[in-house]
């Protein structure tokens, strides 16, 4: 859409689209969900702490604090730092917000075990479907977009309704990318039935809580572009330092865990409609 389109006609279109979404949304029946938690990518720093023993103690303190915080209900983004005897360990864990506390902790524990491969390296990052865990010797909490790589993993099965799926899934992912930076929890799960079929696309988007709204939007914009290129594959996931996006035709969350994103797409519609009527 061109930026120089008159503002009121743009909002008019947004409103019409919003009404269409509301009339298109369909209830989804409860079914078996995919609880596989695949490790997606990991990284270790080559640099070691100055004092190995102190580093390992501080790492242990940081990880224990993260775990303790995650064990509180509805705590999906946690940070902790330990700076003792000159070794600093900043840590951050992020669980997808549709998980139960137990599922989140289980992913965190897998991540902690996995990162043992990094040994004395003073930085590490691992991504799973369900969570990310990272630690560094400096504050990285505002990092959003990796400088070196943009990562998407596309499934290798093509949808049985490629054309319709591409359209539906692309619309859903685009809406998530618009809505999530405006949602206080920075997370949404949403579904959409593929036009003319009985199949549904399930998708989530999430930003880390310590990045700004505009960074969240920028980060999800890149994730959206990468996943849009996966379509019409039946599944895809895209990761970065500050955000995460995933979609699949196989359900990976319950129907009652979806977020109503419509109100976050139609920001200020009522006021604008009145203004449009006034202009007419």
Ligand X SMILES: *[C@@H]1O[C@H](CO)[C@@H](O)[C@H](O)[C@H]1NC(C)=O
Taking a C-beta distance cutoff of 8 angstroms, is the pair 90, 62 a contact? yes
- Helix, strand, coil fractions of the chain, as percent rounded to 5: 40, 25, 35
Taking the least distance from each CB to ligand X, the nearer of 64 and 275 is 64
Q: Is 97 an interacting residue with respect to ligand X (CB under 6 A)?
A: no
Q: How far apart are CA 268 and CA 264, in angstroms?
A: 9
Q: 177: helix, coil or strand?
A: helix
Taking the least distance from each CB to ligand X, the nearer of 250 and 265 is 250
CB of 41 to ligand X, least distance (A): 14
Which residues in the 36-65 window bind ligand X by CB under 6 A? 36, 60, 63-64
Binding residues with ligand X: total (CB under 6 A): 19
Q: How far apart are CA 256 and CA 251, in angstroms?
A: 12
Nearest to 12 by CA among 200, 273, 279: 273
Q: Is 112 an interacting residue with respect to ligand X (CB under 6 A)?
A: yes
Q: Is 198 an interacting residue with respect to ligand X (CB under 6 A)?
A: yes
Taking the least distance from each CB to ligand X, the nearer of 30 and 74 is 30
Q: Is 250 an interacting residue with respect to ligand X (CB under 6 A)?
A: yes
Taking the least distance from each CB to ligand X, the nearer of 176 and 216 is 216
Q: Which of 23, 256, 277, 278 binds ligand X (CB under 6 A)?
A: 256
CB of 268 to ligand X, least distance (A): 26
CB of 155 to ligand X, least distance (A): 8
Quote the DSSP letter at residue 121.
B
> Residue 25 to residues 7, 22, 131, 280: CA-CA distances in angstroms?
27, 6, 28, 31
Nearest to 196 by CA among 162, 235, 164, 234: 164
Cis before 237? omega within 30: no
Per-residue contact flags (x/-) with ligand X for residues 152 to 191, judged by CB under 6 A = ----x-----------------------------------
Q: How far apart are CA 136 and CA 128, in angstroms?
A: 18
Q: Is 78 an interacting residue with respect to ligand X (CB under 6 A)?
A: yes
Contacts of 235 (CB under 8 A, 6+ apart): 154, 155, 157, 246, 247, 248, 249, 250
Which residues in the 203-242 window bind ligand X by CB under 6 A? 209-210
CB of 99 to ligand X, least distance (A): 13
Taking the least distance from each CB to ligand X, the nearer of 156 and 270 is 156
Residue numbers of the site for ligand X (CB under 6 A)?
30, 34, 36, 60, 63-64, 77-79, 112, 141, 156, 197-198, 209-210, 250, 254, 256
């Amino acid at each position: 859409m061109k930026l120089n389109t008159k503002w009121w006609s743009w909002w008019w279109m947004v409103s019409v689209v919003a009404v269409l979404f509301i009339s298109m949304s369909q209830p989804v029946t409860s079914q078996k969900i995919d609880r596989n938690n695949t490790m997606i990518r990991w990284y270790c720093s080559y640099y070691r702490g100055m004092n190995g023993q102190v580093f390992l103690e501080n790492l242990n303190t940081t990880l224990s604090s993260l775990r303790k915080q995650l064990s509180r209900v509805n705590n999906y983004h946690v940070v902790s730092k330990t700076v003792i005897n000159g070794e600093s360990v900043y840590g951050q864990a992020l669980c997808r917000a549709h998980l139960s506390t137990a599922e989140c902790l289980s992913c965190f524990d897998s991540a902690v075990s996995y990162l043992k491969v990094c040994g004395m390296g003073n930085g590490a990052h691992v991504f799973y479907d369900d969570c990310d865990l990272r630690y560094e010797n400096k504050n990285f909490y505002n990092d959003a977009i990796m400088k070196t790589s943009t990562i998407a993993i596309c499934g290798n099965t093509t949808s049985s309704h490629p054309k319709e799926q591409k359209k539906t899934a692309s619309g859903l992912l685009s809406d998530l990318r618009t809505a999530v930076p405006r949602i206080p929890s920075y997370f949404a799960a949403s579904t959409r039935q593929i036009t003319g079929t009985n199949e549904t696309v399930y998708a989530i988007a999430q930003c880390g809580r310590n990045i700004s709204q505009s960074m969240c939007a920028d980060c999800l914009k890149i994730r959206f572009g990468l996943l849009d290129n996966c379509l019409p594959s039946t599944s895809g996931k895209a990761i970065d330092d500050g955000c995460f996006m995933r979609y699949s035709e196989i359900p990976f969350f319950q129907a009652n865990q979806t977020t109503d994103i419509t109100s976050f797409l139609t920001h200020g519609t009522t006021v604008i409609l009145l203004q449009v009527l006034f202009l007419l």
